[in-house]
Structure 1
Amino acid sequence: MQPQDLPPLPEQPGVYLWKTGETILYVGKAKSLKARVSSYFHAEGKSARVAHEADRLDFIVVRDEVEALLLEANLIKQYRPRYNVLMKDDKHYPFLKLTQEEWPMLLIVRRVQNDGARYWGPFPDGGAVRRIKRLVDRVFKLRKNSGIPFKKRRFPCLNYSMGRCFAPCVSKAEPDLYAQEVQKVADLLDGNVERLFEGLQAQMQEAARAQDFERAAEIRDQIAAVRSFFGTNQQAYDVELGDLDFIGFARAGDYAMLQHYQMRGGQMLGRISRFVEGVKEASDPELLEAFLRDYYLEATPLPPLVLLPFELEAEAAFSEFLSRKGRKVEVRVPQRGDKTRLVELAQSNAQTALEAELKLQERRGNHPGLKGLMDVLGLSRSPYRIEGYDISNLMGESAVGSITVFEGGRPKKAEYRRIKIKGLKGQPDDFFSMEQTVARRFSGSLAENLPIPDLLLIDGGLGQVRAAQKGLRAAGLEIPLVGLAKREETLILPDGQTIALPLTHPALQLLIYVRDETHNNGLQFHRKLRNAKTLKSIFDDIPGIGPARKKALLHHFSTLEELRAMSVEELARLPGLDRRSAQAVLKALNQAPVALGTPETQYP
């Protein structure tokens, strides 16, 4: 793109989007759109490449730099442009959520949603957030088991009998008392522990004056439990420092480490680390801004002070941006005293963590297939996390979407998932199934609990690839994806382009590994579903096998082979069965014409 190809640009603040076709290459913000965009044609390195590669520029004018910052953050999060610095992380840190309902409840979640609920987090220590949740569940009588949204029950759960719930699910709760309990939980999570203690003391004294000694004793126990938790589970660093966040930064060549520390009431709550690769051409301010934008877009509640390791041109804009969340927040570099020493500590820890991470990377070895994929597919960074997708079915029956996860070229089996396809009407439809699998992966609980991958591998041709792309769009995401045809082992891109690689190419070998693992994962689950369905139909026809015995058999066995291997005596010992029913089951199985569970033909 040449300067004369630019649209007329105003000298107002806004956000600009460099594009090639409909693909967004880079999103940036500017105090003056005209001055900032024009500078790309006098720059070198990444900026020059972006301007040269783009064939069009879109822009959005906003009222001020703070609005530009917020819009830039949301666009980067939505489109994940190739040339923007993205703070990739291998986990989603937990939040505590107090739902917005007539009878609120406290949950641990991984995503902040615009649903009116109150959120606290992210918490750098997952163990700490679980301890806080257990404390709240034990001490405060909020509902725990009546669902989201709230559902009525016929009988209260055990928490009511243990004195840990007001039981609104059976209309036993008083709204005023419940609201007081909700406020106590909010005070606790806001860090207003002294205010919480004062309120509890006042309620205990009031209950005692009214001679409601049982209620007074309950409140006394609440005070003791909260004091015990905050007295023994956290260590004070310096009470006079109050509430603040501070950040450490270190870099070495193509790598950087950013560490975020939380301090509340002078107590160090923990840290969150981001290790970033492929940043050789990014400036220190660009990396720090990317981290602030990524972290504080969701973090809540915020402290009054955020300490930086070095100055940013947009410090004032970040201060105003964070202050829009409800309290005034100052973002600055400390100049002297204890706050300076905190940032120095963070800097030292970030440098140590970076050196340790680099040594770990060397020990692991960089998988050559990841670098090969980056080059072959034109990705801006190595695809550390790859997810594979495949569909397994037999004439539309028991269709299953299989998802596998590879990180650093190695399978991460704890995050494998299988999805039962819904809505098929007896006919196979791999395109429909693939679209549904991808859309469901990136929505609901799976989206909350699994990080966004760097690359999707689709087992199939152009139809399956475009179906997966349609599923991504339904979820509002743009993620690089590639298909792998089975026989030719050819890479297929969504635009129809094909890439043929020699079988010895490390990128192709890695993709074949991911594809085969995904296929086997789905095949195992598909067999299990199909076998269970066949077992159910066989048990339906056996005299003397009613619903209870059928359930017991299905609980213990998933294939005919497992059952056939049992003797009458062994089968008769199962719960609910006797010798006569065991004989009937084995007789029916021996008359079954087809043995299930035999391996299907495998593709090479």
Structure 2
Amino acid sequence: MGSVRLSELPPLPETPGVYLWKRGEEVLYVGKAKNLRARVRSYFHAEGKARRIAEEATGLDFIATRDEVEALLLEANLIKAHRPPYNVLLKDDKHYPFLKLTQEPFPTLLVVRRVEEDGAKYYGPFPEAGALRRIKTLVDRYFPLRKNSGYPMKKRRYPCLNYSMGRCLAPCVGKADPKAYQEVVRQVEAVLEGKVDGLLAELEGKMREAARRLEFERAAEIRDQIEALRAFFGTSQQAFDPELGDLDFLGLARSGSLAVVQLYQVRSGRILGRISRLLEKEEATDEEILWAFLRDHYLEASPLPPLVLLPFPLEDLEGLAELLRRRAGRKVELRVPQRGEKARLLELAEKNARLALETELKARERRGDHPGLKGLQDLLGLSARPFRLEGYDVSHLQGEARVFSVAVFEGGRPKKAEYRRMRLKAGNDDYQAMEEGVYRRFTGSLREMPLPDLLLIDGGLGQVRAAQRALERAGLRIPLVGLAKGEEVLITPEGRELRLPLTHPALRLLIHLRDEAHQNGLRYHQKKRTEKALKVLSGIPGIGEKRRRLLLERYGGLRALREAPLEELARLPGMSLKAAQALKEALGEKDPL
């Protein structure tokens, strides 16, 4: 089937709506638009992903809506229903829990997985089950809402144990005063919204009043409430400036196809919680990722703050702002701060998102599932995801003692027990040295090592082709790629250059492998320098083993020792002027390293 042509499009209105690019019956992409006609036609003049969608699609459906808000809601529902491959999908199949304060004469607090249009108040979502349990336990223990009477409330003949423990007012048996119960509901709402400063002051006043009336048992109950609230909101929430009020702020971190978005909820100057989402999608832009998060989160999240801080500007936010206004019953501002405390909040969010991303990358490395391996397969057109990688580096010591060093990674992690080095016979020809090293790796003493799935050559096109010649001489066909220093450009044996952003997981992995191979060679040269320096120093009168070690730890080699002032050497702990003079005289006759 061929791709859909511009002339084959159905008549599109110049109104808001949703469009669905389709390949046969499969939905490839769902999008929304202020102007359906203009937005869909733009795909035929675009580049990148938009152009590929139009070329791959064989048909188009659309649904006109009354306004942008309706288009936004419909887009979200269609994406959830069809899970199109070209859309950004931050959510998995599970639904994070909410706390639901039911809408009835005597409300109860429930844990639910879905938000419904039933008039109830929803708080969440809670991605961390521990946070939900802690706040639910706090409410159940210190605020006497009904507990297990069902929803809607069912009548009972006798009150349950919670009533006897003072944890329920027992409306199910007609014992609760409606006015007193609604007062408890108002207090629970303040707790769930994080607005506890006013509640604490109110409870302290009631405690003093109860004590004044000699109602000491009631005063003790209120005291326990106050202590529980202070303990919960004083230790489990991080305090910021109370003048910040209520707001949400977001951070985004990216590494190649992996991205993390984190949202922090601040209420009355305290951070109440953090919501984090992980995305893995190669072609998604930062703007697409952030927009998808905002759409998915704020269609359900409650309660909504008056201000949301974004890490960078986004287009077409009017529809989302209007949706939030309708849901909150007031204006909700979406802003990108440039300076001050609010800008520092965004820096905090970005820092923590980056830490979360690094944690995910390390976890994948431990599982042997480094994202760079899949990236290498796609970039180099490999038939399978590589597992064992070997990096090769040729180094020398002032033009002599050429060494071929091998570093080994498996599953994206260093396997240092299999690092190897070998002295080369080649002279000053770098290409000849690389060819000799690679050939001996597969035909000499290292031939019993497992064959790698991919070779990384430290160098440019000349070194890569030298390594290719060595493989041909050895009768092997192993994919290989070079990594040129400085610009960090990947080079194939055909001369093709691949330029990747430094955050790309495949490039990060290869840089790590290249650096490990290089350090492996440097360690050999350091060892040889130390051995030679010890030999030279051992013949100097007054320089014993302890002084030799001291001098090498401080200066590293004979060159630095020769350049060091006599007075400085004499002042070293354990040295003397006579020993320093003997050292300088001896080094003047030696060829320093």
How would you bin the TM-score normalised by the shorter chain? Answer: 0.5 to 0.7
SS for the counterpart of 2:238 is coil
Q: Is the CA contact 2:193–2:267 (under 8 Å) kept in the aligned structure 1? A: no
1:298 aligned onto 2:300: yes
SS for the counterpart of 2:106 is coil
Q: Check 1:233–1:80 CA distance in 2 against 1; reply closer, same or farther (3 A cut).
A: same
- For residue 208 of structure 1, report the CA deviation from its aligned partner: 6.9
- For residue 338 of structure 1, report the CA deviation from its aligned partner: 1.2
User: For the residues of structure 2 that align with 1:220 and 1:270, how far apart are their CA atoms?
Assistant: 26
Deviations 1:480-524 (A, max 9, x none): xxxxxxxxxxxxxxxxxxxxxxxxxxxxxxxxxxxxxxxxxxxxx
- For residue 76 of structure 1, report the CA deviation from its aligned partner: 1.4
The aligned residue for residue 269 of structure 2 is 266
From 82, 97, 103, give the equivalent of 1:79: 82
1:309 aligned onto 2:311: yes
Structure having the higher Rg: 2
Which residues in structure 2 correspond to 1:408-427 (within 5 Å)? none
The amino acid of 2:230's aligned partner reads: R
Which residues in structure 2 correspond to 1:137-156 (within 5 Å)? 137-156=140-159
The aligned residue for residue 54 of structure 1 is 57
Q: Is the CA contact 2:43–2:54 (under 8 Å) kept in the aligned structure 1? A: yes
- For residue 198 of structure 1, report the CA deviation from its aligned partner: 4.9
Q: Check 1:351–1:67 CA distance in 2 against 1; reply closer, same or farther (3 A cut).
A: same
User: For the residues of structure 2 that align with 1:179 and 1:270, how far apart are their CA atoms?
Assistant: 27
Q: Is the CA contact 1:98–1:105 (under 8 Å) kept in the aligned structure 2? A: yes
TM-score, normalised by the number of residues in structure 1:
0.57
From 355, 359, 369, give the equivalent of 1:356: 359
The aligned residue for residue 172 of structure 1 is 175
The aligned residue for residue 195 of structure 1 is 198
- For residue 258 of structure 1, report the CA deviation from its aligned partner: 1.4
Which residues in structure 2 correspond to 1:549-588 (within 5 Å)? none
Q: Check 1:107–1:167 CA distance in 2 against 1; reply closer, same or farther (3 A cut).
A: same
Q: Check 1:88–1:194 CA distance in 2 against 1; reply closer, same or farther (3 A cut).
A: closer
Q: Check 1:125–1:239 CA distance in 2 against 1; reply closer, same or farther (3 A cut).
A: farther
Number of residue-to-residue matches in the alignment:
373
- For residue 165 of structure 1, report the CA deviation from its aligned partner: 0.8
SS for the counterpart of 2:40 is helix
User: Unmatched 5+ residue regions in structure 1?
Assistant: 376-381, 383-604
- For residue 201 of structure 1, report the CA deviation from its aligned partner: 5.2
Deviations 1:303-327 (A, max 9, x none): 1111111110123333222222123
SS for the counterpart of 1:102 is coil
Deviations 1:340-389 (A, max 9, x none): 11112222222232233223223323499x98xxx9xxxxxx9xxxxxxx
User: For the residues of structure 1 that align with 2:170 and 2:368, how far apart are their CA atoms?
Assistant: 55
The aligned residue for residue 278 of structure 2 is 275
- For residue 166 of structure 1, report the CA deviation from its aligned partner: 1.1
User: For the residues of structure 2 that align with 1:324 and 1:238, how far apart are their CA atoms?
Assistant: 29
The amino acid of 2:52's aligned partner reads: R
User: Unmatched 5+ residue regions in structure 2?
Assistant: 379-384, 386-593
Identity of aligned residues (%): 68
Q: Is the CA contact 1:318–1:331 (under 8 Å) kept in the aligned structure 2? A: no
- For residue 115 of structure 1, report the CA deviation from its aligned partner: 2.3
From 158, 180, 185, give the equivalent of 1:182: 185
The amino acid of 1:103's aligned partner reads: F
TM-score, normalised by the number of residues in structure 2:
0.58
User: For the residues of structure 1 that align with 2:236 and 2:88, how far apart are their CA atoms?
Assistant: 37
User: For the residues of structure 1 that align with 2:274 and 2:232, how far apart are their CA atoms?
Assistant: 20
The aligned residue for residue 327 of structure 2 is 325
The aligned residue for residue 123 of structure 1 is 126
The amino acid of 2:85's aligned partner reads: R
The amino acid of 2:287's aligned partner reads: P
Q: Is the CA contact 1:89–1:274 (under 8 Å) kept in the aligned structure 2? A: no
The amino acid of 2:333's aligned partner reads: E
The amino acid of 2:344's aligned partner reads: R
SS for the counterpart of 1:130 is helix
Q: Check 1:276–1:101 CA distance in 2 against 1; reply closer, same or farther (3 A cut).
A: same
The aligned residue for residue 107 of structure 1 is 110
The aligned residue for residue 240 of structure 1 is 243
1:136 aligned onto 2:139: yes
Which residues in structure 2 correspond to 1:431-446 (within 5 Å)? none
User: For the residues of structure 1 that align with 2:348 and 2:232, how far apart are their CA atoms?
Assistant: 27
The amino acid of 1:273's aligned partner reads: S
From 91, 95, 107, give the equivalent of 2:98: 95
- Bigger shift: 84-93 or 260-269? 84-93
User: For the residues of structure 2 that align with 1:180 and 1:152, how far apart are their CA atoms?
Assistant: 22
Q: Is the CA contact 1:257–1:275 (under 8 Å) kept in the aligned structure 2? A: yes
Q: Is the CA contact 1:124–1:269 (under 8 Å) kept in the aligned structure 2? A: no
Q: Check 1:160–1:197 CA distance in 2 against 1; reply closer, same or farther (3 A cut).
A: same
1:347 aligned onto 2:375: no
The aligned residue for residue 410 of structure 2 is none
Q: Check 1:19–1:182 CA distance in 2 against 1; reply closer, same or farther (3 A cut).
A: same
Q: Check 1:219–1:295 CA distance in 2 against 1; reply closer, same or farther (3 A cut).
A: same
From 10, 14, 29, give the equivalent of 2:13: 10
